[in-house]
Amino acid sequence: MRISYQIICDFWSQNKKLLIIWQLVFLLSAAVYLVMIPKTYEAYFHVRTAKILVNDKWDALKWARYTRRNLMSPQGFTPELARVCVGSDSNAARRSLVNAMQIDILDDSGGVLAISVRLVGADHAKECANLLAKNIVDTSEAALTNRLLEDGFTAGNLQKGKINNYEKPMITSQPRMSDSYVRPQIAQTMLGAFLMGLISVSAYAILKRRYFSE
């Protein structure tokens, strides 16, 4: 394909009106889209799973990367969590909940995770984040109780190879909301609209010249 300054100038002079009108249409559509679309907010929290002391070494009962892996599995959520966060307990809803989460591992062996949940509506995102945090803590606490029972843990036990002490899981930083909505993003949406306008007019002008010119 040949592109030259002259071709660009000719294209501009021949399609100036069309370009301006289509750009206005696309940009206005983008503005309406920005106003109308439900806003996605982000809730961000830190959680630490249970820790145990064995042989003078504190470690998470389950390392953070494995907790993360469980959280990224759609079948791992409780029905209540799925319903509160994504409105239903269908498989598709569970998959969308996985996509709504971003999980950063702050301390792998310490079991500390930073989780952000992005959902439509600030209250909804916060409610889901609270429940998710509680869920992680409850699951870890249940696993800790089982492990302590299996190990026959008694307070003050200093025997090597056995659990000498433990720390319960906890939410280390309560869910914090984004200052504003995180999606849709104004700059990206307007740029997308601008590009679509430009591509549409270019395609229209090329097709018109090829098939409808005399």
Chain positions contacting another protein, by CB under 8 A: 1-6, 8, 42, 44, 64-65, 102, 104-108, 114, 116, 118, 176, 178-180, 182-183, 185, 188, 191-192, 195
| Nearest approach, Cβ of residue 125 and another protein (Å) | 11
Helix (H) or strand (E) holding 41: strand 40-48
Nearer to another protein, 3 or 158 (CB): 3
Q: How far is CA 202 from CA 9, 42, 91, 198, in A?
A: 13, 38, 42, 6
| Nearest approach, Cβ of residue 110 and another protein (Å) | 9
d(CA 214, CA 210): 9
Q: What are phi and psi of 184, to 5 degrees?
A: -75, 155
| Nearest approach, Cβ of residue 58 and another protein (Å) | 15
| Nearest approach, Cβ of residue 61 and another protein (Å) | 17
Q: Look at residue 170 and give its three-state secondary structure.
A: strand
Nearer to another protein, 108 or 141 (CB): 108
d(CA 156, CA 163): 10
d(CA 71, CA 103): 9
Nearer to another protein, 25 or 199 (CB): 199
Q: Look at residue 67 and give its three-state secondary structure.
A: helix
Nearer to another protein, 88 or 185 (CB): 185
| Nearest approach, Cβ of residue 60 and another protein (Å) | 11
Nearer to another protein, 60 or 137 (CB): 60
